[in-house]
Structure 1
Amino acid sequence: MGIYQKLCYKVEDAFVGVMAKKQDSEVVREKVESYRISKEDAKKTTKLEKVPEEEQVEEVK
């Protein structure tokens, strides 16, 4: 994980903490973690989908 992403997560955690003061912190933390994991998985799948397309284009040339 890069420095920028770590910093962004720290800022997000601070905002979530302020916005969800009256809610259970563990539940909120779990939701944030599941959201982050789903976004990372989506990013990985789009990267994997793009790689074969680029390889196919190179093979045609």
Structure 2
Amino acid sequence: MSSDLSLQQIAESVTKSVLNASDKDLEGFQKIMEETVKVREGHRNLQRLIKSFSTSTIQRS
């Protein structure tokens, strides 16, 4: 079973909270989202590096 949330599920779950949030809360939320994007990009880059390393190691064998 997958625990991944769809964008729609995320939007539906935070809509009321975001509408009632203070500017400070929204700034904090924005920082969290920005860091989440960085982590996601880093994860993708790490997967590419691992795949590239695995492929080059297999070719050397």
TM-score, with structure 1 as normaliser: 0.59
Stretches of structure 1 lacking an aligned partner (at least 5 in a row): 7-21
Q: How many positions carry a matched residue from both structures? A: 47
TM-score, with structure 2 as normaliser: 0.59
RMSD after superposition? 2.5
Q: Deviation above 2 Å: which 4+ runs of structure 1?
A: none
1:2-59: per-residue Cα shift (whole Å, max 9, x none)? 51x65xxxxxxxxxxxxxxx87111011000001111111111111011111111111
Higher relative contact order (CA 8 A, sep 6+): 1
